[in-house]
Structure 1
Amino acid sequence: MFQNFLKTVEQFIGGKAFFPATFSELSQKLQIHPQHIEIFQEVLDALVAKGVTQLSQGKYIAKKTHTDVISGIIHMHPRGFGFVQPDDPSVCDQDIFIPRPHTQNAVDGDKVEVVIDTLAISEKGPEGKVIAIVERGRTHIAGIIRTVYPNGAVYAYVPLLGTSQQVVVQQAEGKPLQVGDRVIMEVVDWGDKKNETTCRMSHYLGHISDPACDIPAAIEEYELRADFPSKALTEAKDFGKVVSKKDLVDREDLRDVECFTIDPDTAKDFDDALSLAKSEDGHFHLGVHIADVSHYVQQGSALDLEASRRGNSTYFPGYCLPMLPHELSSNLCSLRANVNRLTVSVHIHFDPEGNMLDYRISRSVIKSKKRMTYREAKQILDGQKKSPYEPTLQLMVELCYKLKRKRYERGSIEFAMPDLVVKVNENGVPQGLDLVVYDITHQLVEEFMLKANEVIALHLDQEGKNLPYRIHDVPSSENMRDFSFLTSAFGFHLSEAPTPSELQKLFDEALETPYGQYLATSYIRRMRLAVYSPANIGHYGLGLTHYCHFTSPIRRYVDLIIHRLLFGLEADLPHLEMVAAQCSEQERLSAKAEGSVVLLKKYRLLQEIKQQDPYKQYDAVITRVKNFGFFFEVLDFMLEGFLHVSEIGNDYYLYDEPSLSLKGTRTGQGFTSGTKISVILKEIDFITLESKWHFVQAEPTEKKSPKGSSKRKGKNFTSAKKKPSKSPSKSRPRKRK
Structure 2
Amino acid sequence: MDQLRPNTSDEEVSQGEMQELLTTKPHDYKRCKLVIEQHDKGRAIPFDEPTLPIRINGRDDLCRSFSGETVCVKILSREGDIRTGRVVGVMEREESFPSFICKIVEGNPKLMIPIRKTMTRIRIPQSKTPNTVEIREHIDRRWVQTKLIYTNPNDLFLVKVLKWKNTCLYPLGVVTKVLPPESEDLNNALDIEYGLGDKPPSFKPRHTESDSTERKDFYDCLTFTIDSPGAEDLDDAISVIDLGETFQIAVHITDVASYVSKGSEVDEFGRDRGETFYGENKTTYMFDRHLSSNYLSLLQGEKRNAISLMV
Give the conservation status (yes or no) of the 8 Å contact 1:170–1:199: no
Which residue matches 2:181? 209
TM-score (norm 1): 0.27
Tell me what 1:341 maps to.
302
| Structure 1 residues 225 and 342, CA gap change in structure 2 (3 angstroms) | farther
Residue of structure 2 equivalent to 1:82? 41
Distance 2:219 2:73 in 1: 57
Q: Whole-Å Cα distance in 2 between the matches of residues 212 and 263 of structure 1?
A: 31
Kindly tell me: are residues 166 and 192 of structure 1, through their superposed partners in 2, closer, same or farther at Cα, counting changes over 3 Å? farther
SS in 1 for 2:225: strand
Once the 2 structures are TM-superposed, how far is the Cα of residue 171 of structure 1 from its aligned partner?
A: 0.5
Is the Cα contact below 8 Å between 2:162 and 2:174 reproduced in 1? yes
Change (3 A) 1:223 1:97: same
Determine whether 1:271 maps to 2:244.
no
Q: 1:321 aligns with which of 284, 296, 308?
A: 284
- Measure the CA separation in 2 of the matches of 1:262 and 1:301: 31
For residues 222-233 of structure 1, the aligned pairs below 5 Å read 222-223=194-195, 226-229=198-201, 232=202
2:71 counterpart of 1:97: no
Q: Report the AA paired with residue 307 of structure 1.
A: G
Q: Is the 2:54–2:84 Cα contact (8 Å) retained in structure 1?
A: no
Find the residue that maps to 2:270 and give its secondary structure: helix
Residue 171, structure 1, aligned to residue 145, structure 2: no
Partner of 2:15: none
Q: Is the 8 A contact 1:144 1:181 kept in 2?
A: yes
Contact 2:77 2:84 in 1 (8 A): yes
Name which of 116, 120, 124 aligns with 1:162.
120
| Partners of 2:252 and 2:60 in 1: CA distance | 52
1:254 Cα deviation (Å)?
Answer: 6.5
> Where does 1:637-656 land on structure 2 (aligned, <5 Å)?
none
SS at match of 1:303: helix
Distance 2:261 2:33 in 1: 31
* Structure-2 residue corresponding to 1:517: none
Measure, in 2, the Cα distance between the counterparts of 1:297 and 1:223.
22
Helix, strand or coil for the counterpart of 1:342?
coil
- Which residue identity lines up with residue 290 of structure 2 in the other structure? E
8 Å CA contact 2:112–2:124 kept in 1: the answer is: yes
* Shift in CA distance, 345/211, structure 1 to aligned 2, threshold 3 Å: same
Aligned twin of 1:183: 158
Task: Measure, in 2, the Cα distance between the counterparts of 1:115 and 1:249.
Answer: 42
Are positions 1:306 and 2:300 aligned together?
Answer: no
Please show how residues 267-666 of structure 1 align to structure 2 within 5 Å: 267-279=231-243, 281-286=244-249, 288-291=251-254, 293=256, 296-298=259-261, 302-310=265-273, 312-318=274-280, 320-337=283-300, 340-344=301-305, 451-452=309-310
- Alignment partner, residue 579 of structure 1: none
CA distance 1:345–1:324, change in 2 (3 Å) = closer
Partner of 1:262: 226
Alignment of 1:112-151 (within 5 A): 112=72, 116=76, 132-135=88-91, 137-138=93-94, 139-144=96-101, 146-147=103-104
Higher relative helix content = 1
Q: Which AA in structure 2 matches 1:334?
A: S
**Would the aligned equivalents of 2:43 and 2:56 in 1 still touch at CA under 8 Å?**
yes
Which amino acid counterpart does residue 162 of structure 1 have in structure 2? T
- On the 8 A contact 2:200/2:286 being kept in 1, the answer is no
Judging changes above 3 Å, is the alpha-carbon distance between structure 1 residues 212 and 332 closer, same or farther for their aligned structure 2 residues?
A: farther
Measured against aligned partners, the alpha-carbon deviations of 1:12-59 in whole angstroms (never above 9, x if no partner) come to: xxxxxxxxxxxxxxxxxxxxxxxxxxxxxxxxxxxxxxxxxxxxxxxx
Report if the CA contact (8 A) 1:143-1:156 is conserved: no
Are the aligned partners of 2:72 and 2:90 in contact in 1 as well (CA < 8 Å)? Answer: yes
Q: Tell me how far apart the structure 1 counterparts of residues 292 and 233 of structure 2 sit (CA, whole Å).
A: 6
CA shift for structure 1 position 142: 2.2
Write the distance in 2 (CA, Å) between the matches of 1:226 and 1:330.
19
Question: How many angstroms does 1:162 deviate by?
Answer: 1.5
Distance verdict in 2 for CA 1:155–1:259, change over 3 Å:
same
* Equivalent in the alignment of 1:32: none
Partners of 2:41 and 2:76 lie apart in 1 by 14
Two-structure CA RMSD over aligned residues (Å): 5.0
Q: Distance in 2 between matches of 1:129 and 1:255?
A: 50
Amino acid at match of 2:241: A
Name the SS of the counterpart of 2:266 in structure 1: helix
- Change over 3 Å in CA distance of 1:283–1:345 after alignment to 2: farther
Unaligned runs of 5+ in 1: 1-67, 119-124, 240-245, 347-448, 456-737
Equivalent position amino acid for 1:306 in 2? F
Q: Which has the higher strand share?
A: 2
Contact 2:56–2:62, Cα closer than 8 Å, also in 1: no
| Residue of structure 1 equivalent to 2:20 | none
Distance 2:264 2:33 in 1: 30
Q: Distance in 1 between matches of 2:45 and 2:220?
A: 52
Number of paired residues? 249
**Equivalents in 2 of 1:75, 1:253: separation in Å?**
39
Give, as a single letter, the amino acid of the residue that structure 1 aligns with 2:158.
Answer: V
Q: Could you say if the C-alpha distance between residues 307 and 200 of structure 1 is closer, same or farther in structure 2, counting changes exceeding 3 Å? A: same
Residue pair 1:142, 1:220 contacting (<8 A) in 2 also: yes
Whichever residue aligns with residue 210 of structure 1, its letter is E
Task: Give, in whole Å, the separation in 1 of the partners of 2:55 and 2:123.
Answer: 27
CA distance in 1, matches of 2:291, 2:256: 8
State the alpha-carbon separation in 2 of the partners of residues 133 and 225 from structure 1: 29
- Considering only CA atoms, is the larger Rg found in Structure 1 or Structure 2? 1
Change (3 A) 1:196 1:221: same
TM-score, normalised via structure 2 length: 0.55
Equivalent-residue separation in structure 1 for 2:275 and 2:294 (angstroms) = 15
Partner of 1:414: none
Instruction: State whether residues 295 and 304 of structure 2, in contact with CA within 8 Å, keep that contact through their aligned partners in structure 1.
Output: no
Note the C-alpha offset of 1:269: 0.6
Partner Cα distance (2:190, 2:261) in 1: 30
Mapped partners of 2:225, 2:294: distance in 1: 14
8 Å Cα contact 1:73/1:109 also seen in 2: yes
Identity %: 20
C-alpha separation between the residues in 2 aligned to 1:101 and 1:299?
36
Alpha-carbon distance in 1 for matches of 2:306, 2:101: 49
Letter in 1 for 2:288: P
Within 1, Cα distance between the matches of 2:262 and 2:63? Answer: 41
- The 5 A counterparts of 1:685-704 are none
